[in-house]
Amino acid sequence: MDKEDSPLSVSSSLEWPDYVVIAIYFVGILAVGLWSGRSNKQDSISGYFLASRNMHWIPVGASLFASNIGSGHFVGLSGSGAASGIGNAAFELNAMFILILLGYVFVPVYMASGVYTMPEYLRLRFGGQRIRVYLSVLALLLYVFTKISADLFSGAIFIQQAMGLEGDAGIYVSILILLAIAALFTITGGLTAVIWTDFVQTIIMLIGSFILMGMAFVKVGGYNELIRQFFMSYPSENYTAYDLNNRSCANIPPDAMHLFKSIKSPELPWTGVIFGVTISSIWYWCSDQVIVQRTLAAKSMNHAKGGCIMASFLKILPLFIIIFPGMASRVLYTDRVACADPQVCEKICGSQAGCTNIAYAELVINLLPPGLTGLMLSVMLAALMSSLTSIFNSSSTIFTMDIWTRIRKNPSDIELLIVGRVSCLLLVAIGVLWVPIIQNAAGSQLFTYMQQVQNILSPPVSAVFLLAFFWPRTTEPGAFWGLMVGLIVGLIRFGLEFGYVIPPCGTGLPDPRPEIIKKIVGNVHYLHFGCILFVISLVTTVLVSLITEPIDEKYLYRLTFWTRHSSQVRSALEDKENHDTSPKETTPIMDADSSTSASNDSVNELNEPKPVVGNSVDLPVWRKAINCLCGVETQKASQDTVTVATAVIDPKQEALMASEFIKEDPKWLRFVNTNAILVMSVSAFMWAWYA
């Protein structure tokens, strides 16, 4: 197998056909985003944040997949494949089961309750605001410091390798362009634009990645030859180094082709794979705003379940289109991808910890002809932008509905729409500023870094959501203290985990951690710690709930799994301050123009004649631009908002409509159930085959 003649050489820049393809991609995806956003009722709360609850199962499923598979997956997951084999495919295959759990258990309750956000659900379920505010802030922190920053970091790696850029200036210019385009149709178009662009970008990702996968398999001689050569892919002596035990720093574990590894494995022990991955997956797929918001936009329960099943089928693909190509990259470009000498690695990819993160970029640069290279760069841009747009939209929803309504009492719908768009801009700015931080913190362990942070912070949230759904006896003090105890324990682990910088293999420097920290952190895998943290939070929540006053049944209709079909009128758990500024319970099938949260002041304000675009009164150009951007430019929109805001809905009728909304057509229910069984059977086969 031919290797590169000069592993230290800088990758050649793109050719003109590649730039043409990239330009066509940008123009096309921007047109789709702006068209879909303008065709939707983006001047309403539901239109902007939930796509008017009118999305088909195909774009819902594609958006679920695209929101998950960002550039962090293409860079981090292929890098993990190049470093240690297929082990991290466990996260992808596990998600196939958890997505079914989302569609069949969690979404019916969310839809019946009529919520916009997950913190809002917990406020309805437990009353008060402290849990809602805590989870809102926690979600925003996780989005900025793991998802946005990781995607930007991985995107920067790919752009640097693909375009042969040296230094940071070119990288940040490219990132700013990506962010500007992603933010443009997210801010102007809302969730509809995000979902439809995700749909288009999923098609682009699949086409490009299948082409590259096929060419990689052909280049290495097929599947069996890939496995055989992978275990022999060690860099030459000039590009490797050894640890203190005289083992190669480019070591390939003997169980690289197994999903279930020894319980003492430093990578992914089988106990952690079964239990730890499941706990973090429940948080990510069933209670994370970015994911759940896509299913809440579905037009019916059948479409929500169908979207989850479609995404579950698509989760089979990352093993083949990302991980195996990463392994092929190590076979083809061993000295660059598998380099282990810290000084050499720093010259190749800028990281002393290793260069496995450039595995996918190396295939794109060296394997594809001009034009196709531009297509695959577009694939990476599509993955980056689909994740960023999803995160921007969901983060703005959380900030607007869960935090801003605590700052501003009785805000109007127009104010909420403007705040949602401005919060997107703030997230863009913070994400850009955090890029150098994540670049220094993650090194070549991007995927592991993301999973470590999530397993430190997410298990308490998983515990509280599961208890909220299945144990009506759970109380607000129990949930709050379960979260707080879990947070304290998790932050202790976080400090121990990241408080010391461990020298890369091959430097010859000793581990600076005290022995007690080595034992605590080194002997307790982060997936095992996630299990321990989950149990601690679960037990704390149960014990505190048992010694506090239970919540009356009249407050829980359509808020637990057992009462999701109830048509009883639900009483509201009021805040201690006796004023709740968040939107009240809304019927899922109503457009959010019918939200009952608008105050009398805002209604009166809207009733007053005001100059708007399309009216006879002229406005300055800057005001017209702002009105257009914020979706309040038409007189019809204002009139519609007034008409519905002043409407009075009978609580009994509203409760009945909410319970009826999650009922399903028997014919389509059988079809959906059959496919759910099929996808779980396929996942079980994959687990057994690679166990």
The model's pLDDT over 323-366, given as tens digits with 9 standing for 90+, comes to 999 999 999 999 989 888 888 887 777 777 788 888 988 888 88
| Model confidence band, residue 314 (pLDDT cutoffs 50, 70, 90) | very high
Percentage of the chain exceeding pLDDT 70:
72
Structure tokens at 478: 């129990």
| Model confidence band, residue 608 (pLDDT cutoffs 50, 70, 90) | very low
Q: Is 587 helix (H, G, I), strand (E, B) or coil?
A: coil
Percentage of the chain exceeding pLDDT 90:
27
Paired with 269 in beta bridges are 261
| Model confidence band, residue 140 (pLDDT cutoffs 50, 70, 90) | confident
Q: What class has domain 16-115+124-239+266-563+662-689?
A: mainly alpha
Kindly write down the DSSP assignment for every residue of 430-445, as one continuous string.
Answer: HHHHHHHHHHHHHTT-
Single-letter code of the amino acid located at 364: V
- For the chain, the 3-state helix, strand and coil shares in percent, each to the nearest 5, are 70, 0, 30
Residue 475 has pLDDT above 90, yes or no: yes
Would you put residue 558 in left (φ > 0), alpha (ψ -120 to 50) or beta?
left
- Give yes or no for a contact between 148 and 593, defined as CB atoms under 8 angstroms apart: no
Of 69-73, 152-156, 163-167, 199-203, least confident by mean pLDDT is 163-167
What local confidence, expressed as pLDDT, does residue 186 receive?
Answer: 54
Q: Quick one: which H or E segment has residue 654?
A: helix 651-661
- Give yes or no for a contact between 501 and 512, defined as CB atoms under 8 angstroms apart: yes
Which part of the chain has CATH 1.20.1730.10? Answer: 16-115+124-239+266-563+662-689
For residues 637-659, average pLDDT:
57
What local confidence, expressed as pLDDT, does residue 316 receive?
Answer: 93
Query: What is the torsional sign of CA 278, 281, 285, 286?
Result: positive
What local confidence, expressed as pLDDT, does residue 185 receive?
Answer: 52
Structure tokens at 109: 């309750």
Q: Report how far residue 222's alpha carbon sits from residue 467's, in angstroms, rounded to the nearest whole number.
A: 48
pLDDT tens digits, residue range 209-252? Answer: 899 999 999 999 999 999 999 999 998 877 788 776 677 788 88
380 by Cβ neighbours in 10 Å (0-12 / 13-18 / 19+) ranks as buried
Q: Name residues whose C-beta falls within 8 Å of residue 237's C-beta, 6 or more positions apart in sequence.
A: none
For residues 425-439, average pLDDT:
68
* Per-residue CA distances from 63 to 88, 198, 203, 317 (Å): 22, 5, 11, 15
For residues 314-318, average pLDDT:
93
Of 256-265, 266-275, 495-504, least confident by mean pLDDT is 495-504
Rg (CA), the chain: 25
pLDDT tens digits, residue range 624-637? Answer: 555 554 544 433 43
Single-letter code of the amino acid located at 268: L
| Model confidence band, residue 273 (pLDDT cutoffs 50, 70, 90) | very high
For residues 516-530, average pLDDT:
82
Specify the higher pLDDT residue, 399 or 193. 399
Paired with 124 in beta bridges are none
Total residue count of the chain as it appears in this document: 691
Q: Report how far residue 677's alpha carbon sits from residue 671's, in angstroms, rounded to the nearest whole number.
A: 10
**125-139, 398-412, 555-569, 606-620 — which one is most confidently predicted on average?**
555-569
Q: Quick one: which H or E segment has residue 429?
A: helix 413-442
Specify the higher pLDDT residue, 606 or 240. 240
Residue 470 has pLDDT above 90, yes or no: yes
Residue 437 has pLDDT above 70, yes or no: no
Query: What is the torsional sign of CA 137, 556, 669, 96?
Result: positive
